[in-house]
Structure 1
């Protein structure tokens, strides 16, 4: 969860706790009995450890005599939900819809800052590599199999590599060169594609070697679109960060990660070494 969402949830919990105490419920257990809830649920809500539903807010305000606050608190709950969107809701009809939704963001972005510690970034992917990524997603999330359409939409992003004046600052962890997505042949083709993309004038591709000293833990992947949006993907959700204070933290993280990266000939050497690794795998 983002720092902003976590802070909002904790602040909401503190307000609910205040309502409980002001209404004369000395403990969470007493309120839980009145609401016919588990005592642990009251504790989790008050301590910001669980998202409150709109029904939870209405019930809490009703029994504590604070119904005039329902609309305000529900607005807070909805804002928290917007900061943390479940993947299943995003991709419930398949992966292609999510890929199509991303295109306008890519079209209007002027400067990209991308960090991928263990995978090749989507816009740099070959069709075969992308197809394997989506195949895994279909199986993992148990969603409709629209891999072909999803790949087509992902590849549409590549047109922006050659149009306009967009700048692409992309960082990969060395592990991204070795994560075996689709087998040796798919990986060798993907690595060849990566070397071709490096030659584009508006692409700055850095690779952080596995043994490089780091000024910040490598953490999770993220994508920055100008200074207005950061997308963070996890196994269960996609988080949209739009709060300027948090965006500054991601910009700082990207700058620190850049200091550990190698570029140009050194980055190309790392890719060539990975190609040789997959050559060996293919002949074993």
Structure 2
């Protein structure tokens, strides 16, 4: 289980460690007793109980057996998987290809009613054109050296997910840095089509499209890309992996960052002028 800076992930690890320590106490065992029963070093039991080392599923099975609590094994392993899922490295997430990673997020999109997305790298996936998505996912497939080439299937899954933009009573707020309009992903033809699509999406009554202009004197610098789903979850895409945040305090921090960035953005006719300028620069 990779460590991350997120207190959501850390608290999930700590909660699992506390439950394991409680099992040990309820069984009348010390950490040394448990280590002896499991055939481990004493330090391993201590590291697990203090959340310094995450247990494996096999460790949890051995722990529950040593504590005569085999009936709790499945529940504790489920807690382990939840904690692991809060931070997922790209290699692990995409080991079976890109399609599954795209499909896995669909239920979250379907149950969300208020979306807020900020991106400093790419156009958010929900408002990408098919050629832009193809270029983005093809670049990921090559850069990460993925053995499975399912880019076409992954693109189709993302296009299917975009249906939520037009269905149900949902609201969307998108913020992108002006540099996103000029990153040249996929070449001039792809970018021209993508910029036209942004202008079209911005006209939808349930969509807010903000562009943060490039400026020499801005006080709030660009951040990593993130999505806010209602007020219940944040997902952050980092270079190394995918972070899921569920702690209310952390969610509030991202909501505050979104509001600050939104205050720097331009909308409506001003946003369209930036889109047009970026399109004109493509020639």
Task: Tell me, yes or no, whether TM beats 0.5.
Answer: yes
After TM superposition, the runs of 4+ consecutive aligned structure 1 residues lying more than 6 A away are: 10-14, 44-50, 55-60, 65-68, 70-76
State the 1:181 CA deviation.
Answer: 0.8
Kept in 2, the 8 Å contact 1:170–1:206? The answer is: yes
Among 188, 201, 221, the residue aligned to 2:225: 221
CA distance in structure 2 between the partners assigned to 1:93 and 1:23 by the alignment: 39
Aligned pair count reads: 268
In structure 2, the residue matched to 1:163 is 167
Q: TM-score, normalised by structure 1?
A: 0.76
Aligned-partner SS, 1:148:
helix
State the 1:9 CA deviation.
Answer: 5.7
Residue 254 (structure 2) pairs with residue 250 (structure 1): yes
CA distance in structure 2 between the partners assigned to 1:115 and 1:166 by the alignment: 17
In structure 2, the residue matched to 1:30 is none
Kept in 2, the 8 Å contact 1:100–1:153? The answer is: yes
State the 1:155 CA deviation.
Answer: 1.0
Residue 75 (structure 2) pairs with residue 86 (structure 1): no
Q: TM-score, normalised by structure 2?
A: 0.76
Kept in 1, the 8 Å contact 2:134–2:152? The answer is: yes
In structure 1, the residue matched to 2:202 is 198
Among 103, 108, 111, the residue aligned to 1:105: 108
State the 1:257 CA deviation.
Answer: 1.2
State the 1:161 CA deviation.
Answer: 2.1
**Runs of 5+ in structure 2 lacking a partner?**
19-29, 33-38
CA distance in structure 2 between the partners assigned to 1:157 and 1:11 by the alignment: 33
In structure 2, the residue matched to 1:129 is 132
Kept in 1, the 8 Å contact 2:116–2:229? The answer is: yes
Closer, same or farther: CA 194–23 of 1 in aligned 2, 3 Å: closer
State the 1:136 CA deviation.
Answer: 1.3
Aligned-partner SS, 1:259:
helix
Closer, same or farther: CA 66–108 of 1 in aligned 2, 3 Å: closer
In structure 1, the residue matched to 2:243 is 239
CA distance in structure 2 between the partners assigned to 1:274 and 1:73 by the alignment: 52
State the 1:245 CA deviation.
Answer: 2.1
